[in-house]
Chain A
Amino acid sequence: MTASNDSFSRNKLPVISRVLILLGLLFCAAPLAAQTPFALTNIGQKIDSDDARMVGRGGWGMAVYDSINPGFKNTAGLSVVRNLVVSLIGYGSETHSESLDGQRNVTGVMVPEIRLAAPVVKGRLAVTTGFSLDRNFRYDTVTEFTTDVRDYTLEGEEQFIRQGTLFAVPFGVAWEAAPGLSLGAVVGLVRGTNTESLYEVFREPVNQSGIPFFKTVLQVQDDTFEGTAYTLSALYRIGDRMRVGASYTPSYTVDADRSISLGGVSAKVASYWSMTMPEEYLLGTQTNLFGRWWLGCDYQFQAFSEFEGPQAWVAEGMEDEYTVSVGLERRIANVRRAGLSNWPLRLGYSTRQWAYRVDGEPLTENTLSLGTGFPFRRELGMLDLALSYSRVGDLEKNGLEDSVWKISISVTGLERWW
């Protein structure tokens, strides 16, 4: 018995250590996240917190009802879980941006979501929590300048850095209210920051010690966000071949504390403002076409045309944000000696209209994706992979255009795996 326990410890500890190291690395790497220059303004870039399984098939996941590889997009679907579930989603991306001012490649990694679900009554009632990114503001620019001041010709650069996120810490419950019908409710603590820093660096002229004559200007605007969102969701199973899911998030207010400071100046300005996030609808379905093949689609809509917030953002022109996702999935199989035919296959397409205009024109994002996955032993979770390619914006219409290659990985582990 003692020997068995020792053996268990030896086998278990290294796995946990590896996972912890992995988590640590992902968190450390998260600030390096690549972003698009479109995130430089307004409410920022919407971050998909879909797991790699969903990403691979275009993003649909509102109708997922799976106890081995549960999806967190629709909380109602978590009522099926029978084990403690931990889901970690990460992606690495390379973004090629092109504008009339040049080109830039940016790589980075991000962990948009970590979620946990625990059954209260196995297969009937579960609770969930975690961390989920909603918006990201990160991007930076540098421009050189030359200007004449007094008797000097000043040379330097202007650096603008926007960084921050809007995220939610959800606390949810999922309940199978009736055979085939699951309901979910989530209270999301919306938090975040957005820091916009503007550096004016005057490199020339310098004194004999090499110190610039003119001091660098640093203007910083800090916003700290706080709000609460509520989401109701449902999932309905029509036989074994079709499922329908939906969620509704009423409009909610996000309060922001703003401080503006100028480096070296003791005076700071604190102010308060708020923004009203429009109500959001998600609707999705999936149906079994034949054999292991499933077809699904999701629709997300948030009426940002009714957004209330900073006047500068509204003046830029808000648009209703919507996302349409459609895709196919061949589910995993466990046929002995079937080889690659057991593998799950996924492919999909999605299109999104962003919440705001750029250069006076709506901004659209189109994504093609494909993916696969690998089960853990004894069906205690999945490792899913997806590769996607997106084009964001249009050089002629928006003055900017992005091409984004993204590798998404998600790990869903059930309690015994851990």
Chain B
Amino acid sequence: MLPRFEKWKNRPRHSGRLSGLIVATLLLSLVIFFAACGSDDPNAVGVELVDAEIDALLELLDLEEPSEYRGLSIKDPDIPLLGQEVLYLGQKGGDASSILLEYDLGQVLNETITLDLFTQENIETVNFRLLMLSAYDQGDSNAQGTFPWETWYELYHLDDPVDTSVFPGPDPSIDGLPNLNTNYILEDANLVYLPVPKEPLIDWITTGGTHTFLIKEGDEDPASGEGLTGYSSMDMKHGGTTLEPTTIGSDQLGPSIYVKFTEPDTMLIITPDLDLSTFYLLADAPAAINDGFIMRTGLRSYPVLYFDFSSLPDGIFINRAALSVTNNTDSSWGMLESIVVSELEREFFDSEPDGLTLSNLENSVYPITGMTSLDPSYHDVMEFNVTTYVQRMINLLDEQGNRIEKGLILTPGEDFLPSYNTSTLDPDFYFNKFNFFGSDDPDGRGPRLKITYTVNEAIQGGGK
């Protein structure tokens, strides 16, 4: 210890001088002091030296009528009309459909089910059974009518097979054919049994081969109520989520013929080889925007709107652009649905009908915004924030410096629009229809683009 103490005692002295350590400490303290001292947040002090005014900043422009419009019928080749999960029957707002069924009755007979069972005495009942989707059987406000609506179910046996490629299209002729359904029974709220006389069935079984049937809404007095109701097809895949719980577990979700024998005491269920909705009336989308426009699911029809931005100066900043559309809640109907507004490539807009497929649409849209859970019969005014779209229309220039314009398409939540695809049910499932007011609406409820923008006078004339 002693040598160490001596060393310390005899250390070099720098009395009156500052070491580097002290210098560093002093400077560091200064830095920390001022860095730690809080400054007041910026305020209005000095603002009179700033040349900026909010009042002159925001400019307004309303584009009150689309410059171009088209209602596009989009097809999904993977799910043609024949492959749809839901069969529609009835009529609503200019759309109407019957159900076409085809059974191969030559395949019914076998070692167990023999022809001698099909006698007047041995057959207790013959019924065509339809399974109504739960969305339509509870009088839900989204259903097409007020439950129980009066519907007459007519059943016709057609003489000849039908070319299904003509549908959607007119129903096959039933002139001179008898209505085989003498009554209808709505049982357990969602099971519809259409009783059929025994004799024709015996003839059909005896004849064998393919037999075609048409279930049609009748117009007896009193007439059937307005409503387009959905029933499970043989292609139903979402049964458990769309049907009554009592039907879950049933492996016969499509329209089937139920034959009850006395001896043996058994039920024969004959399933169809083909079923489809005929949509013998399918209202076209309005040809001109003046008359309105529609967004329809089930058989997809999506509107495309173009606006003329030539009145917008170059190089502006879009503070807000809102596409305002008004849904006619009196004439629109269907389930809760999303509406997505997307940019659409011009090429798709100009496509021939064959090119208007879902996969082509997927490659042609860029989603902008949307809303979910819209009730066709409740939500009227809808404002979609399309600010980014309008900004892009200002920014996008071709090689000649001209603006590249894209359209706006309104679609439901397709699979390729995951942010708004809130259901496992694709838009081909339910037949929903939004009817929007057109430009000629006297109350000014037509589509319009309300733009608020900022001009920087220094930035004009496009990109430089």
Chain A interface (Cβ within 8 Å of chain B)? Answer: 14-15, 18-19, 21-22, 25-26, 29, 32, 34, 37-38, 40-41, 90, 92-94, 97-99, 101-109, 139-143, 145, 147, 149-150, 156, 158-160, 198, 200, 202, 207, 213-215, 217, 219, 260-270, 312, 342, 358-359, 374-378, 383, 399-400, 407, 409, 411, 417
Contact = CB atoms under 8 A, between A and B. Distances in A.
A55 B208 CA distance: 114
Interface string B381-424: 00001010001001101000000000000000000000000000
A37 B40 CA distance: 13
A152 to B, nearest CB: 9
Interface residues of B, number: 61
Nearest to A33: B34
A33 to B, nearest CB: 10
Given A37-B46, A102-B44, A198-B52, A262 B456 contact: yes
A267 B459 contact: yes
A109 B319 contact: no
Most chain A CB atoms below 10 A, which of B54, B55, B463: B54
Q: In this complex, which of B23, B33, B46, B395 has the most chain A Cβ atoms within 10 angstroms of its Cβ?
A: B46
Given A32-B35, A92-B31, A143 B459 contact: no
A11 to B, nearest CB: 10
Nearest to B19: A377
A147 B58 CA distance: 10
B2 interface: no
Nearest to A198: B52
A213 B320 CA distance: 7
Interface string B425-464: 0000000000000000000000000101010101101111
B54 A145 contact: yes
Given A101-B43, A267-B314, 13 more contacts: A25-B28, A99-B48, A109-B34, A141-B50, A142-B41, A217-B454, A260-B456, A265-B317, A269-B459, A376-B23, A377-B17, A383-B23, A383-B26
Contacts, number: 206
Contacts of A140: 42
Contacts of B1: none
Contact of A260 (B47, B54, B454, B459): B459
Given A19-B24, A102-B44, A263-B317, A107 B34 contact: yes
B339 to A, nearest CB: 16
A145 B52 CA distance: 12
Contacts of A150: 60, 450, 452
13 contacts: A26-B27, A37-B49, A92-B30, A94-B37, A102-B44, A109-B31, A142-B44, A160-B50, A214-B320, A215-B318, A215-B387, A265-B394, A378-B17
Interface in B9-29: 14, 16-21, 23-24, 26-28
A159 B44 CA distance: 9
A417 B41 CA distance: 42
B45 interface: yes
Contacts of B391: 264-265
Contacts of A94: 34, 37
Contacts of A104: 40, 42-43, 45
Given A264-B318, A265-B391, A90 B44 contact: no
A150 B41 CA distance: 32
A92 B34 contact: yes
A102 B43 contact: yes
A270 B21 CA distance: 50
A270 B464 contact: yes
A139 B26 CA distance: 28
In order of increasing CB-CB distance, the 4 nearest A-B pairs are A37-B46, A92-B34, A101-B44, A266-B395
B189 interface: no
Contacts of B452: 149-150, 214
A99 B454 contact: no
Contacts of A106: 39-40
A215 B58 CA distance: 11
Contacts of B16: 342
Contacts of A409: 26-27, 30
B109 interface: no
Interface in B34-75: 34-35, 37-52, 54-55, 57-58, 60
B236 interface: no
Contacts of B58: 147, 149, 214
A215 B24 CA distance: 48
Interface in B206-247: none
B316 interface: yes
Given A102-B44, A107-B38, A22 B319 contact: no
B454 A109 contact: no
B49 A41 contact: yes
A358 B50 CA distance: 12
B355 interface: no
Contact of A15 (B20, B31, B462, B464): B20
Contacts of A38: 46, 49
A261 to B, nearest CB: 7
B49 A18 contact: no
